[in-house]
Chains A and B, each alone.
Chain A
Amino acid sequence: QVLLVESGGGVVQPGRSLRLSCAASGFTFRTHGIDWVRQAPGKGLEWVAAVSYDGMNKYYADSVKGRFTISRDNSKNRLYLQMNSLRVEDSAVYYCAREGLATKLHTFDIWGQGTKVTVSS
Chain B
Amino acid sequence: DIQMTQSPSALSASVGDRVTITCRASQTINNYLAWYQNKPEKAPKLLIYEASNLESGVPSRFSGSGSGTEFTLTISSLQSDDFATYYCQGYNNYWTFGQGTKVEIK
Contacts and interface: CB of A to CB of B under 8 A. Distances in A.
Tell me the interface secondary structure of chain B in the complex. Answer: strand
A97 B89 CA distance: 13
Among A35, A44, A95, max chain B CB count under 10 A is at A44
Contacts, number: 61
Interface in A9-55: 35, 37, 44-47, 50
Given A44-B87, A47-B94, A95-B43, A108 B36 contact: yes
Contacts of A62: 1
B78 to A, nearest CB: 21
A61 B95 CA distance: 9
Interface in B23-40: 32, 34, 36, 38
B97 A59 contact: no
A62 B96 CA distance: 12
B18 interface: no
Contacts of B100: 44-45
Contact of A107 (B1, B46, B94): B46
Bin chain B's interface residue count.
20 to 34
A35 B95 contact: yes
Given A45-B100, A100-B49, A106 B95 contact: yes
A45 B44 contact: yes
A115 to B, nearest CB: 11
A111 B43 contact: yes
Interface of B: 1, 32, 34, 36, 38, 42-46, 49-50, 53, 55, 85, 87, 89, 91, 94-100
9 contacts: A44-B87, A47-B94, A47-B97, A103-B50, A104-B50, A107-B46, A107-B49, A108-B89, A113-B43
